Amino acid sequence: MRNSTKLVFTFLLFVIPASVYSAPENSHILGNNWYCNDGYKKQTDDCIKLDIPKNAHVLGNNWYCNDGYKKQSGKCVEMTSSEIEALKSAREKQRASMSDGTVAYQTKIDSDSGDIIKFENGAILEVSSYFGYLGYRKNAVLYGNGHRCRIWIASKKSYKCDLLKAPEGKGEPAKEVHISEVKGNGTILIMLDGSMYEVDSIDEIHTSLWLGISDGLLIDGTTLINFDSDEPVTVYQIR
């Protein structure tokens, strides 16, 4: 019996890839694979340090030109005033397209009596798909499109609701997103539509724990809520 066990163990040593047991220098292991650290790129079985030009900064495993500069022949060259104005105009158009018709209201729970919830911004709604105490003073986001109503409550995910009283004030443009990948220990988020966002450094402590493949809400192009997380994070679109 002991000999057969030894043979099985020896066999497993040969069939399991070496990458399971070790990773190259300047990399880290996540799950059953290894990934290069920030500032390094994968080349065959090694992590090679990025050659970062002047007036550029590192994001994850790549580099990007600083504001006012553009990528040209592997360098970051200064943009002309007309190019800067054109970029500003493009960003404004991009900002205008950051909503799919959804409007969001960031607020806090004021009181919770059964299924009826009152919020700081005056909104009153009924949540029929959740039973139990939702939590006093918890952060919440009321959002919807047309007659559609949904509410996200920190640590309670997102629920359908019936709006009994509209919130006061003007909402913010928003759109529902699908987070497909988290890279660079939470520094970079990639959406299902291919768009890419850099996470504000103060919020990386939250996104480093995200597993990816989650639904969320992007508010005003800069505030991202992962429905499986507790706190909104600040992001900046880079692609």
The pLDDT confidence band at residue 4, using thresholds 50, 70 and 90, is very low
Q: What is the mean pLDDT of the chain?
A: 82
Whether the per-residue pLDDT at 159 is higher than 90: the answer is: no
pTM as predicted: 0.59
Distance CA 59, CA 187 (A): 7
Give residue-wise pLDDT tens across range 73-127: 999 999 999 998 888 877 666 555 556 789 999 999 888 776 788 999 999 988 8
**By the 8 A CB rule, do 34 and 19 touch?**
yes
Looking at residue 191, its pLDDT comes to 92
Specify the DSSP element, H or E, that contains 214.
strand 214-219
Residue 167 half-sphere exposure toward CB, CA atoms < 13 A: 25
| Mean pLDDT, residues 3-25 | 52
Distance CA 60, CA 145 (A): 35
Give the closest residue to 35 by CA, choosing from 181, 183, 179, 180.
183
The pLDDT confidence band at residue 15, using thresholds 50, 70 and 90, is very low
- Strands of 22-72, DSSP E: 27-30, 33-36, 40-43, 46-49, 56-59, 62-65, 69-72
In the chain, where the domains are located: 56-96, 102-172, 173-237
Q: Which pair of tokens denotes residue 164?
A: 């009994």
Distance CA 157, CA 213 (A): 15
- Residue matched to tokens 């759109």: 175
More confident residue, 146 or 165: 165
Whether the per-residue pLDDT at 25 is higher than 80: the answer is: yes
What is the percent of the chain where pLDDT is above 90? 28
Please state the three-class secondary structure of 78-113 as a single string: ECCHHHHHHHHHHHHHHHHCCCCCEEEEEEEEEEEE
